[in-house]
Structure 1
């Protein structure tokens, strides 16, 4: 009897049911789109952070910044030999630790021993500045009129003090400055750190036995620019390294132009047993803040930077869109949902007012108030479920459109701090002192949780609407129906 009457009433009031369902569908679709876009923003930010530190890195440990005025920085110096040959090419290079701040290699073991740390690995970030060019000697040009105007006895030519007068023309120097970044990686633990954000597209990666081998992996963009390939060599401070592989960054720019074994990087930089960054993976992603506090407390002179800290440095259209999605979009969804619930409730209550004679007659025939209320709630609940199905369909379509279009957002990475120092070539893995801009394609993934939330909202909308109408229906009396009949 309940379902028969329910089906009959819904069919008879199709237009009213469609209006209620459409209002709820709009709110539910908006929630799905906003939630999926927010998830896409979060995924995009994760890609940005991975391009900095690599996949699986939850935090990094660097040396604490030196106090202002205490020194700790240096300027690169280049020295050239004096040569008589004008055509001789002068060439020199300088290997510098990025940020000029290093930690003892033993810090890696100390960090790894902290509670909540699943893995820790060290790395050394370097910048190689190479200067090539030549000096050209100038030519002395004597002034032709100087000797005629000032002649001594015998017509001798000369200026003041008997010295010939003239000028030097030509000469000078022409030098090219080339710089590239080198990252010393622990080849025995390659599953953590910046290199994990790149894939080997040619050749191979390092072997665990190549801890002190003169081998290198080149970034594909740098290799293309410099004409490097597998089997060729790249020179770092006079040491030649054979390229065994070429890597391509998954997103954005690679962490370094060239990767070499950590021990070799320490040797060429004259930084034995030193690292610039310790990459840390937490055992539990929910305990990152706790692990950070423990490291800072137990290992003095260090700065710990987490993924959350890095996210605060991301600016550009990605950050703006993320803020809009998390603030404006969220509040807009709430406002639309509340409005949809209210409209559904008012429409259901209004429909009950128009059905006074019907419900009054049913009560006169023996229907209890509870039965009438359940009937109204049942109708409203079905309307809510219909709105939920329609809203889920529209929301999925909207998310699909966003993913298909994949609008490109820019993410600009500012300074992340971390003890860098104001060196001219600061930055690199673990310490981004220079801005870096990445282009990220936005997607809108829809999770099962989002669908379940949409279903829950549909049911809630139906119950809210039913509560309005049911309360109104429970107050009707058979006498009201008799007055309407008269």
Structure 2
């Protein structure tokens, strides 16, 4: 009886049911769209942060660089023999640690022993400035003086003046690139973790002191290096064993060396610039950060949350809009949709005075009348939910298909100039540079099962709210009301 009556009443009031369903559908579609876009923003931000951190890295431990002493400026210095023949090309490499102040390698073990730390790996960041070119010596030429000039003693001039140097100069090329020292026994954490070996192979655990290198794809292509070739850094030959393609286009590491080789190259024995840390529980990162800062003084601990605060540009603006304005707007529209549905249901009940009064005169109790109204409202809510999910999925698909480009500008975290880190490949070292790095990210709008479930729950909730108001009004009607409505 309930089902038959429900079906008949809904078919009689198709227009009213459609209006109520549409109101709920718009609110639910907006909720799905905002949630999916917010999820896309989070994924985009994660991509940016992954370019700064090694895969699986939860935080990094660094130390701010101190001011140079009075005897050194800290700037690169190159010495050449200015008397060299122009036919001889001169070359010099200047290797300097990049990022923050160097840390003792023993701190890696100390950090790994802290409560909440699953693993810790050290890395050394270097910057190599290569200067090569040649000098051209000038030639001394004598100039002929005018007549009448007197020369040496005796007043007789020889017609020549003082010799002058003509020509000469220098032509040098400057090339700068970054080097990351990798702990070859723990490559799943650190600078190389965010890159994939696309040609050749990566380091083996036995190559801790081997003179081998992995090059980034862009650096190898620019300098025409292939697997098996050798190249020099400060006079030391390294064999290229692999070409790595970074997961993020923001990676700026050019050369990866075994950590011991990088330490020798940079005259930084038993030193690292960054300690990559993985926590045992991702929900306790802030607690682990506080523990490390408390037990290991003088260090700077940077988490992904800290780096997220440095991301600006259209990605940050859109993310703020989606999380603040967008969510509040969707809540407001949803509340308005619920109220409209409730008012329309209540208004429809008011027009059914004769119907409900007659049913009560025939013996229907108030709870049965209320159940009938609530049942109709829930069906309207489910219809609106289905329509809203379809509209929300269509909107999310449209955003993903268009894939609007957002820019993320990576600025300094303010944790002290020169936070070390594997340049580009992982670590916030590149964040400390004065110039901001800009990353282009394509926005997507993934819709999760949780979002669909939320939409279905909101549809049922909207139906229950509308049905509760309409049912309450219908339950208060008396049989006499039906008789008074008869003209």
- Give TM class, smaller chain: over 0.9
Show the counterpart of 1:471: 472
Secondary structure of the corresponding residue to residue 99 of structure 1: coil
Distance 2:107 2:33 in 1: 46
Residues 1:120 and 2:117 aligned together: no
Distance 2:77 2:68 in 1: 23
Work out whether residues 195 and 255 of structure 1, in 8 Å CA contact, stay in contact via their aligned partners in 2.
no
Residues 1:439 and 2:440 aligned together: yes
Show the counterpart of 1:81: 81
Show the counterpart of 1:363: 360
Q: 2:428 aligns with which of 422, 427, 430?
A: 430
Show the counterpart of 2:411: 414
Show the counterpart of 1:30: 30
Show the counterpart of 2:39: 39
Distance 1:72 1:285 in 2: 43
Residues 1:354 and 2:351 aligned together: yes
CA deviation vs aligned residue, 1:434-486 (integer Å, no higher than 9, x gap): 22222222221111111111111101111111122122212222222111103
Moved more, 296-305 or 328-337: 328-337
| Residues 66-465 of structure 1 aligned to structure 2 (within 5 Å) | 66=66, 74-99=74-99, 101-144=101-144, 146-148=145-147, 150-152=149-151, 154-156=155-157, 164-165=161-162, 167-421=164-418, 429-431=427-429, 432-434=431-433, 435-465=436-466
Show the counterpart of 2:5: 5
Q: TM-score, normalised by structure 1?
A: 0.94
Distance 2:37 2:2 in 1: 41
Secondary structure of the corresponding residue to residue 114 of structure 1: coil
Distance 1:471 1:94, change over 3 A: same
| Count of paired positions | 480
Distance 2:290 2:100 in 1: 25
Q: CA deviation at 1:419?
A: 4.3
Work out whether residues 24 and 462 of structure 2, in 8 Å CA contact, stay in contact via their aligned partners in 1.
yes
CA deviation vs aligned residue, 1:177-202 (integer Å, no higher than 9, x gap): 10110000000001111211111100
Work out whether residues 57 and 190 of structure 2, in 8 Å CA contact, stay in contact via their aligned partners in 1.
yes
Distance 1:67 1:265, change over 3 A: closer
Distance 1:367 1:68 in 2: 91
Work out whether residues 32 and 446 of structure 1, in 8 Å CA contact, stay in contact via their aligned partners in 2.
yes
Distance 1:276 1:477 in 2: 83
Q: CA deviation at 1:255?
A: 4.5
Distance 2:71 2:413 in 1: 20
CA deviation vs aligned residue, 1:275-326 (integer Å, no higher than 9, x gap): 0000001100100000000000000110000000011111122112111111
Distance 1:38 1:348 in 2: 33
Q: TM-score, normalised by structure 2?
A: 0.93
Distance 1:259 1:184 in 2: 6
Distance 2:471 2:178 in 1: 71
Moved more, 362-371 or 399-408: 399-408
Work out whether residues 93 and 237 of structure 1, in 8 Å CA contact, stay in contact via their aligned partners in 2.
yes
